[in-house]
Structure 1
Amino acid sequence: MAKDYGEVKFFGTVGSPFAKRVQIALDLKGVQYTYFEEDLRNKSELLLKYNPIHKKVPVLVHKGRPLAESLVILEYIDEIWGSNHPLLPQQPYDKALARFWSRFIDDKCLPAILKAAFTANKEEREKGSEESLEALEYLENELKDKFFGGESIGLVDIAASYLAFWLPAIEEAVGLKLLTSDKFPKLHKWGQEFTNHPVVKKTLPQREKVVGFFKARYASIIAASK
């Protein structure tokens, strides 16, 4: 008899890279869930009930119990549905490293990229670019196989999905060049492998809409600085 894992609800929004992390993990593991699309300009009462602290997506509700923050949710998903497509390595040291690099992406890579792309001050943008390139270099050196998780997608790959899909859209929108094939050949190839994975590909939003969103964001920042 198949194990009854209980009801799963997932609150996200199409354009959120953090919500997409959770969706990718759920779909890789074949978890059945009910999806709730949120309008973050008009948040639902359920979202506010389940995530009263941050009031944002993603939120996973399993058996009526809510969890927020994408990396926390990913580890929970892996523990509950661990037998199918494990996201974390089995060895304690390797598991700790995966957690380290996932946090590194959120704490170092993403803030630097946002500074480089969406800061009006030229000096700050240049500083952000330098910090971004340094962070990407660390990841380039860390990538040893097809994916950070080896031959299959793991926790670090999902955490780095921002670099594979959203960063190239940002680069196109604002004229930035960071993750190039000549500077970071392994990361560049990894990004293509990741975004073309059948499960990942079907979850990603339309690229044109994402580029348009970032173009509008960039234009509003530049306009406000004048």
Structure 2
Amino acid sequence: MLQRINPEHLLFLDIETVPQYPSFDQLDETTKQLWELKSKYQRKDDFTPEEFYDRAGIWAEFGRIICISAGYFTLKNDVRHFRVTSFHGEEKHILKEFGSLLQSHFNRPYHLLCAHNGKEFDFPYIARRMIIHQMKLPDKLNLFGKKPWEVPHLDTLELWKFGDYKTFTSLKLMTHVLGIPSPKDDIDGSQVRDVFYDEKDIDRIIKYCEKDTVAVAQIFLRLRNEPILKEDEILSV
């Protein structure tokens, strides 16, 4: 199946998210109550809603996107490159620019989106935030009425499961076991909130997001038993 897919028809992506506000105190009372209910199962008795708010970025209802990195393969005169670009700034701007990319360059029936755990996180998160901002969903994110085999999404985590639904394998673990240079050589997802709100270092987050996007593409190549990208084949645009 994977061998039949033209790598140039894939758009690889990764998103970085943070809580909508720097601190729990900035939420209105209704949102505080809703957050308490939403996070109750995950918190159990170990954390108060306020203590747990640092993790609010993983829920689209309480978080927001601060970066989307997207990458794609190009092949010209038998020379392969992987180009990666990032969208950042105000969330609505990020979503608008990313939506425009999908509609203008990845809108054909054979185009697919690919991410690690994308079906559970990246793809629905982007779609939900677009709906919240009253934006029209690009065709590649609008799954209403689609049959499972019509969904234009590829998930490297799902591919690695081989039908096993009992386990989660992180991007870092997959790159390690597959012999791919680790993208987690600076920060990890748990630190993005602090780097964004406290250190105000969006460039560091963009670099991290782009490395994850490259890692997803590398995993795709390894799952096809193909050579991974060399450093000089990766271009940031």
TM-score, normalised to structure 2, is: 0.28
Higher helix share: 1
Q: Which has the higher relative contact order, 1 or 2, with Cα contacts under 8 A spaced 6 or more apart?
A: 2
TM-score, normalised to structure 1, is: 0.29
